[in-house]
Amino acid sequence: MTQDIQATLSQFIASQILKQPSRQISPTEPLISSGLIDSFSLVDLSLFVDDTFGVRIDDTELNADTFDTLNELTELIRERQA
Amino acid sequence: MKTFAEILQDAYRQVPDQVILHLLYNQKPAEHLTYRTLLQGAAGYTRLLQDSGVEAGDVVVLILQHGSDLIYAFFGAVLHGAIPAIMPFLTEKLSPEQYRKSLTALFEITRPAAVITYPEFQAEVQRANVHNQVRSVLVSSQVTPYGELEESWTDFHGLKRSVDDIVLLQHSSGTTGLQKGVALSHRAVFNQLQAYSAALHLNQDDVIVSWLPLYHDMGLIAGFLMPVLNRIPLALLSPFDWVRAPYRLFKAVSDYYGTLSWMPNFAYNFCAAKIRPRDLEGVDLSTWRAVINCSEPMYWNSHQVFLERFAPYGLKEQALATCYAMAENVFAVSQGGIDEPVTVDRIDSHAFVSRQLALPAAGDGPSVPMLSAGRPIANTRVKVIDDKGRELPERHIGEIAIQSDCMLTGYFNRPDLTEKAFLDGWYLTGDLGYLANGEVYITGRKKDLIIVGGKNVYPQDLERLAGETPGVHAGRVVAFGVFNPETGTEDIVVVAESEEDLTDQPEKAQAIANEIRRRVTQGSDVALRFVEVVGRNWLLKTSSGKIARAANREKYLEQIRAQETAQS
């Protein structure tokens, strides 16, 4: 389950946000604080999470304090789905 | 003519209880400032500057985020007769090191007497102050609120300034932008506001709603000073909040009966694509009389997607408006879409590309829909010139040159740059375009400037950052913009030559590309869309040995097209 969420997120980020479909994203790689995902793309990510996993991330939570890595985002999704 | 401080004093005396500013936040309730609160808050900062030995005419740099501190500090400096300059705040993705470097560069040119920031940021600013150009680094927590002002006006040096003194500085971003602080006088700002207000038919029923940053001319002038100095209410959001929740703009227009807003072109696409219907429930946009597209190339299609998305909420087609503006003219040069719908000029693609002519398209031949930027505002003259400075007839594409009574006093402490910017009393904008039936059309840029999301980005800044990446051949990097119709703005592309041949090592090339991306984002706060690591001698150079940006852009696009053809 965790694996599936991570793979889905990773694929979305690589192909839709970074436009590098073959790019591997490590589960512990910083995404927001590193600038890999810019502020214009954060809202795309939150819309995708909402549509795909039925989990709402409020706009006030779209920062590196809430999640910065695939691991952290996956955990947040799992917690809210429970 | 009066000065800023005199206009504010009048408002304080005549309409102290008028609510002039609604500061909106996403994590706390809005603040509603009357002229009394505004001026008393500002006076607290004036006293801080007095006590710190800052003098009238000194520059005060403000490094503060969206909120009342920034507003008070700005007007506090004005009341003191000092010259405020607002800088972007450090964002989480920008590296502190690079931010410090750009502050150091700013301090060297501008030599501010003081910086005002938050207590937790004071040490950071002090570290950037390597040559001790800044006399005092002051913090917002030192400020105590001021009571009644009537006893104190005589202490405020801002009331003794002349209309030809410099009232503020406005910078573009990046190392290159920070070298050019646009210095504006009270007279220039008021001449602009008078001409621009007339073009907009600005009146007491207007309410301006803005999410634009105050360190940018569009936000500072249209989305801040014009309303506050004209007693027109303003609802102000943070750009940081807006980009995470664009629906908040629409909610603010609906809640405050907003009539006027300004946005760069990309925001039309961004808002249309990224708002959930449930976030727009109950929103009414019928009061919006002008949504003004400004500060990057404007596209017909962006207006269409915006209209389609928001018409169901009351957005009127005639509200779509356009503007051509630059900090050097304080703000607006021309305005369209107020008295009549924005003109769409369909021009012949072939004559446009091959002959530099904007001829009306005949019949069903290939054409480009150009959005008019409207007519020059009353105090500004516009002409189009060729590369020898000769005026061109209508529908000939050349460089836009302007003349007005609201031009900059100069680039602060850079008389050399100021002199270069003018030719026979005309300011050379670096923008390419044409005139037709008295309306201004912008077609491109003469300078290699990238405009992404309304923000000016100098390619040389990105090339320097990318060129410092290990594995990249020194000096062999090029950065350029490519328009993306989906986002309505430019994607930034970096092409870098590697030191060694990496044809057989794609992972290594990828690692270098990742590192370039990281360095550029953290160093410039600009995200790259495509990073291409290529072999030696891929990049084309000019005869003088410089990397030719336009030629390399063409080569890159050529290669992409060839790949796409091969795939299909």
Distance from CA of B454 to the nearest CA of A (A): 13
* B103: phi then psi, degrees, rounded to nearest 5: -65, -45
Mean predicted lDDT score pLDDT of chain B: 93
The count of structural domains within chain A is 1
Select the residue of A33, A42, A64 nearest B244 (Cβ to Cβ). Answer: A42
Q: What is the pLDDT of residue B134?
A: 94
Cα B116 from Cα B139, distance rounded (Å): 5
Select the residue of A35, A47, A60 nearest B527 (Cβ to Cβ). Answer: A35
Task: Encode burial over B82-111: b for 16+ CB neighbours within 10 A, e otherwise.
Answer: bbbbbbbbbeebbbeebbbebbbbbbebbe
Select the residue of A33, A43, A60 nearest B93 (Cβ to Cβ). Answer: A33
The structure tokens listed for B423 are 């030719």
Q: What is the pLDDT of residue B70?
A: 98
Select the residue of A34, A38, A40 nearest B518 (Cβ to Cβ). Answer: A34
Q: What is the pLDDT of residue B93?
A: 67
Longest dimension (CA), chain B: 78
Cα B40 from Cα B151, distance rounded (Å): 12
pLDDT, one tens digit per residue, over B282-321 is 999 999 999 999 988 899 999 999 999 999 999 999 999 9
Q: B531 pairs with which residues across the strands? A: B494
Q: What is the pLDDT of residue B486?
A: 86
Residues of B with CB under 8 A from a CB of A: 26-27, 91-94, 240-241, 243-246, 248, 270, 274, 276, 453, 487, 510, 517-518, 521-522, 525, 527, 529-530
- Contact across the interface for B529 and A62, Cβ inside 8 Å: no
Alpha helices in B201-348 (DSSP H): 217, 226-230, 239-244, 247-256, 265-273, 300-310
* B150: phi then psi, degrees, rounded to nearest 5: -55, -35
- List per-residue pLDDT tens for chain B, 568 residues long: 999 999 999 999 999 999 999 999 998 999 999 999 999 999 999 999 999 999 999 999 999 999 999 999 999 999 999 999 999 888 766 778 888 888 998 999 999 999 999 999 999 999 999 989 899 999 999 998 788 999 899 999 999 999 999 999 999 776 677 888 999 999 999 999 999 999 999 999 999 999 999 999 999 999 999 999 999 999 999 999 999 999 999 999 999 999 999 999 999 999 999 999 999 999 999 999 999 999 888 999 999 999 999 999 999 999 999 999 999 999 999 999 999 999 999 999 888 878 899 999 988 878 889 999 999 999 999 999 998 999 999 999 999 999 999 999 999 999 999 999 999 999 999 999 999 999 999 998 887 888 888 888 888 889 988 988 999 988 899 999 998 888 888 999 999 999 888 888 888 998 999 899 888 888 887 888 889 999 988 998 876 677 788 889 999 999 888 888 887 6
* B272: phi then psi, degrees, rounded to nearest 5: -65, -35
Distance from CA of A74 to the nearest CA of B (A): 20
Q: What is the pLDDT of residue B362?
A: 85
Q: B451 pairs with which residues across the strands? A: B456
Q: What is the pLDDT of residue B453?
A: 82
Q: What is the DSSP string of B162-211?
A: -TTSEEEEE--SHHHHTT--EEEEHHHHHHHHHHHHHHHT--TT--EEE-
Q: What is the pLDDT of residue B295?
A: 87
Distance from CA of B439 to the nearest CA of A (A): 33
Domain extent, residue A13, equals 2-81
Q: What is the pLDDT of residue B95?
A: 77
Q: Contact B212/B262 with Cβ under 8 angstroms? A: yes
Q: What is the DSSP string of B411-456?
A: ETT-HHHHHHHEETTEEEEEEEEEEETTEEEEEEESS--EEETTEE
Q: Which stretches of B265-343 are assigned E, i.e. beta strand?
A: 290-293, 320-325, 332-336
Alpha helices in B61-185 (DSSP H): 68-80, 96-110, 122-128, 174-177
Q: B263 pairs with which residues across the strands? A: B293
Q: Which stretches of B485-553 are assigned E, i.e. beta strand?
A: 489-498, 530-534
In one-letter notation, the amino acid at residue B352 is F
CATH of the domain at A38: 1.10.1200.10
With a cut of 80, say whether residue A1 has pLDDT above it: no
What's the predicted TM-score (pTM) here?
0.91
Q: Contact B73/B45 with Cβ under 8 angstroms? A: yes
- Contact across the interface for A47 and B276, Cβ inside 8 Å: yes
CA dihedral B556, B562, B566, B568 (to 10 degrees): 90
**Packing angle, helices B96-110 and B506-524, rounded to 10:** 50
Q: Contact B338/B200 with Cβ under 8 angstroms? A: yes
Edge-first strand order for the sheet with B489-498 is: B472-484, B489-498, B530-534
What residue ranges define each of the domains in chain B, with the CATH number in brackets?
1-21+33-161 (3.40.50.980), 329-445 (2.30.38.10), 458-567 (3.30.300.30)
Cα B84 from Cα B69, distance rounded (Å): 13
| 3-state class (DSSP) for residue A68 | coil
Which of B568, B480, B491, B566 lies closest to B528, judged by CA? B491
Q: Which of B89, B242, B244, B452 would you mutate first to test chain A, the one with the most A CBs within 10 A?
A: B244
Q: What is the pLDDT of residue B519?
A: 87
ipTM: 0.89
Place of tokens 């589960």: A27
The residue of chain A with its CA nearest to that of B25 is A60
Cα A27 from Cα B548, distance rounded (Å): 40
Average pLDDT over residues A45-51: 95
Q: Contact A57/A46 with Cβ under 8 angstroms? A: yes
Task: Encode burial over B392-424: b for 16+ CB neighbours within 10 A, e otherwise.
Answer: beebbbbbbbbbbebbbbbbbbbeeebeebeee
Phi-psi region of B297 (alpha: psi -120 to 50; beta: other; left: phi over 0): beta
Q: Which of A20, A25, A40, A45 would you mutate first to test chain B, the one with the most B CBs within 10 A?
A: A40
